[in-house]
Chain A
Amino acid sequence: MRGVLSPGCANLKAEDIAMTTRREFLQIGAGGLAGLAFVGCPLMAARPARAQARRREVVVAGRRVKTVDVHAHCTVPEALALMNLKLGAPGTALPPLLHMATQAPDRLRAMDEQGIDVEALSINPYWYGADRDLARQLIRLQNEKLAEACAAHPDRFVAFASVALQHPDLAAEQLEEGVKKHGLRGAAIGGSVNGEEISDPKFHPFWAKAEQLGVLVFIHPQGAGVATDLPKRLKGNGYLDNVIANPLETTIALSHLIFEGTLDKFPGLKICAAHAGGYLPSYAGRSDRGCPTRPVACPGGTYGPIKRKPSDYLKDMYYDTMVFSGEGVRHLAAEVGAGQLMVGTDFPYPWTTTAVDDILEAPGVSDADKMAMLGGNAMKLLGIRA
């Protein structure tokens, strides 16, 4: 079952590109749910020629659903420059499409085509090696730019603050400022910080602040940053240093948050893990059985024994739906509950263009659950108005 479909992506003509001004997009935004605006197709898409693409409006049970993508990357080149990184540089995973200030039209076209109404933007950390002064400058610049990007299209974008988690007290300040001053909706962090697990008590000031503010913390792994000998096992064909290393880092991060007692100490935390929580939700049974099988390996976490069954904590966390199939979504919902799931696309990395359809096509999932996953859950967590 699908909602109203866009007619697919068309080959762009020069005049189409010229037409798609920022003003038009603001109008589309203002038009909101009317959604009849015509937009062109992304420049990157090379598909057979057709007319312009219509904004896809997702409908479930006859009702228009506002869809929210919680896994959408962007970046701020001026901040990258502070770490000597450059957008579009060869050998980096930094395509120009990440740039909000110049590429928002292309991004909006892709969103329109895929049926994404709102993106919750985040920036993958590359600044965890920065000293305090640099980190302060970089994050201030970045969060200001994120706020600007959202303000330019307030009905299409919200954003997670970036924080310098290597300086936990500073990160707590940055989160508070990001939320209160810049209207950002939470924080985005990596799966580890310079080789330290995010369950390390060092990071408690940050977790305490996130809990106190009640905002969502989006965890995105950085497989390549995993400080281990493992990468040598992930060479060769298939990009396993991403395909395996990314879900692995998330699995390790969440496992430590559970087993080291971080989630007991901060029970109000709202955590959303990218890529459907990596491997953990699908394989939660093994986490439950490890300690009974070999109790000696479970001396307790930082605060002694953990309070609940490991898999119970999984049902309190949130996940994107980047599992690539309706069956994957059904399974994830069965493991953690539909109320914990939100659309994720990984834009602009073309992992999927069918995130909405994967949810619509999930077998045996109720319409109410689909609506919650498509947008309802994220709207509540991120303070997005209907």
Chain B
Amino acid sequence: MADAAFVSCGGGGVAGAPFARRREVVVSGKRVKTVDVHAHCAVPAAMALMGRKLETETLLMTNTRERLAAMDAQGIDVEALSINPYWYAADRDVAQELIRIQNETLAEICGAQPDRFVAFASVALQHPDLAAEQLEQGVKRYGLRGAGLGGSVEGLELSDPKFHPFWAKAEALGVLVFIHPQGSPELERSGRLGGNGLLTNTIGNPLETTIALSHLIFEGTLDRFPGLKICAAHGGGYLPSYAARSNAVQMTFPQRMTGTLKKRPTEYVRQLYYDTIVFTPEALRHLAVEAGPGQIVMGTDYPFPWTSTSVDHILGTPDLSDADKIAMLGGTAMGLLGIKA
């Protein structure tokens, strides 16, 4: 990996000097390879099969100059790319074709710049057996590093037994499954997230993740597939910071526990992975206490401008050891995603 490479400055995100130097992240005198597990992209040829239009050009990987400039400026060495699902309504044939195009393209993108990009396979989870095949093919044939999922599938929870074939495959392959929410349409329809403030996203997204993870815990999915490696976007939504409420319910309303779990809910919280998109040092510090510092991996949400300071966020969080910081910046993700040092 060449260090100190000069790249030209992109049109968006990086202001100021015409040439930005690649930021090299150093912790206690050691260069740290940084990995962003929450980076969006799009493949228009696949979107066309669903009649979908590109939300923003910055999602494109056909010209990565601007993206690399942002990564260099922010100190991101590697992005783990994912595509938010828009194909969960597709029938089997369309889903097969769409995912094939998409995963092939993802593999090409990563092949073109293997030291800067890895990717999660996209899978047609509405057809669980097909999704299992797509994941296996994505990993074995295309060198993809896991799968990117939504927080629910056409109104079904991820814990629905229908999806067990997919979870079984993910567990067998030992790859990371990245869960990214897509708002909470059930709540949006009521208008309760309307008005000022982008609540459809700021509440709707963490809420969907909270619901998805809660079901995976309480419905026993994580007991059934104990080897699953799951990473939840946006710091796991609301769940890790308020996980003790999930424990308390066992004591408070035992009659509402219709199933038996092998562990306390918070113990499952400590086996899942989360990105760092919680914005403040205090929130990250709390997440590290609740989930364990080894469960946290850096995220940026690129190209959506939620944050451009993910590296500094980790570096500036109190009560983390240098080892914790190195793990969050890249070490843990490198292990999970098979990224070489």
Which A residues are within 8 Å of any B CB, using their own CB? 192, 195, 197, 199, 226-230, 232-234, 236-240, 242-244, 247-248, 251-252, 255-256, 258-261, 275-276, 279, 282-294, 297-301, 306, 310, 323-325, 327-328, 331, 334-335, 349-352
Contact A285 B280 (CB under 8 A): yes
Q: For residue B210, which residues in chain A have a CB less than 8 angstroms away from its CB?
A: 244, 279
CB distance from B247 to the nearest CB of A (A): 7
Question: Chain A nearest CB: distance from B277 CB in Å?
Answer: 8
Check if A279 sits within 8 Å of B196, measured CB to CB: no
Assembly CA distance A290 to B195 (angstroms):
13
Apart from A293-B201, A351-B252, 15 more pairs, CB < 8 Å: A199-B195, A228-B190, A229-B186, A230-B186, A234-B211, A236-B218, A237-B218, A238-B218, A248-B207, A252-B192, A279-B241, A288-B279, A289-B202, A350-B251, A352-B248
Q: Decide if A240 touches B252 in the complex (CB within 8 Å).
A: no
Among A192, A282, A293, A300, the one with the most B-chain Cβ atoms within 10 Å of its Cβ is A282
B304/A243 in contact, CB under 8 A: no
Is the CB–CB distance between A244 and B211 below 8 Å? yes
The CA-CA distance from A310 to B203 in the complex, in Å, is: 14
Check B211–A240 contact: CB distance below 8 A: yes
* B186 and A279 form a contact (CB under 8 A): no
Chain A neighbourhood of B184, CB < 8 A? 230, 233
A196 to B50, CA, bound (A): 37
Closest chain B residue to A295, Cβ basis: B198
Q: Ordered nearest first, which 9 A-B pairs have the shortest CB separation?
A: A285-B279, A238-B218, A259-B197, A324-B244, A239-B256, A290-B198, A228-B190, A282-B241, A297-B198
B224 within 8 A of A: no
Query: Is B5's CB within 8 Å of the partner chain A?
Result: no
Cβ-based interface call for B305 (8 A)? yes
Contact B249 A331 (CB under 8 A): no
Interface of A is mostly: helix
Query: Which of A228, A243, A258 is close to B189, meaning CB atoms less than 8 Å apart?
Result: A228
Given A238-B246, A350-B251, CB of A301 within 8 Å of CB of B186? no
Q: Is the CB of B196 within 8 A of A306?
A: yes
User: B residues bordering A, Cβ < 8 Å?
Assistant: 152, 157, 159, 184, 186-187, 189-190, 192-193, 195-203, 206-207, 210-211, 214-215, 217-220, 234-235, 238, 241-242, 244-249, 251-253, 256-259, 265, 278-280, 282-283, 285-286, 289-290, 304-307
22 A-B pairs (CB sep. < 8 Å): A229-B186, A236-B157, A236-B218, A237-B258, A240-B215, A243-B246, A244-B207, A244-B238, A255-B203, A256-B195, A259-B197, A275-B245, A279-B203, A283-B206, A293-B305, A294-B201, A323-B242, A325-B244, A327-B286, A334-B286, A351-B251, A351-B252
B182 to chain A, nearest CB (A): 13
**How far apart are the CA atoms of A234 and B218 in the complex, in Å?**
11
* Given A230-B186, A255-B203, A298:B241 Cβ within 8 A: no
Collect the chain B residues with CB atoms within 8 Å of residue A292's CB.
Answer: 305
In the assembly, what is the distance between CA of A346 and CA of B251, in Å? 13
Instruction: Report the nearest B residue to A253, measured CB to CB.
Output: B192
B197 touches A290 (CB 8 A): yes
Complex Cα distance, B304 from A137, in Å, reads 54
A200 CB to closest chain B CB (Å) equals 10
Write out the residue numbers on chain A whose beta carbons fall within 8 Å of the beta carbon of B244: 323-325, 328
The secondary structure that dominates the B interface is: helix
A294 nearest CB neighbor, chain B only: B198
A159 to B290, CA, bound (A): 35
With A and B bound together, what is the CA distance between A258 and B259 in angstroms?
39
Chain A residue nearest in CB terms to B313: A285
Q: Is the CB of B157 within 8 A of A233?
A: yes
Inter-chain contacts of B198 with A (CB < 8 A): 290-291, 293-294, 297-298
Asked if residues A228 and B282 are in contact (CB atoms below 8 Å), the reply is no
Residues of A within 8 A of B306 (CB): 289, 293
CA distance A327 to B203 in the complex (A): 24
A236–B241 contact, CB under 8 A? Answer: no
Collect the chain A residues with CB atoms within 8 Å of residue B283's CB.
282-285, 335
CA distance A282 to B252 in the complex (A): 23
- C-alpha gap A325/B245 in the complex (Å): 10
CB <8 Å contact, A228 and B187: yes
**Taking A283-B238, A288-B279, A331-B282 as contacts, is the C-beta distance between A226 and B192 under 8 angstroms?**
yes
Q: How far is the CB of A328 from chain B (nearest CB, A)?
A: 6
**Given A195-B190, A297-B200, A327-B286, residue A286 in contact with residue B206 (CB < 8 A):** yes
Contact assessment for A334 and B189 in the assembled complex, using a CB-CB cutoff below 8 Å: no
A236-B196 in contact given A228-B190, A287-B202, A293-B306 (Cβ < 8 Å): no
**Which residues of the other chain, A, contact B187 by a CB distance below 8 angstroms?**
228-230
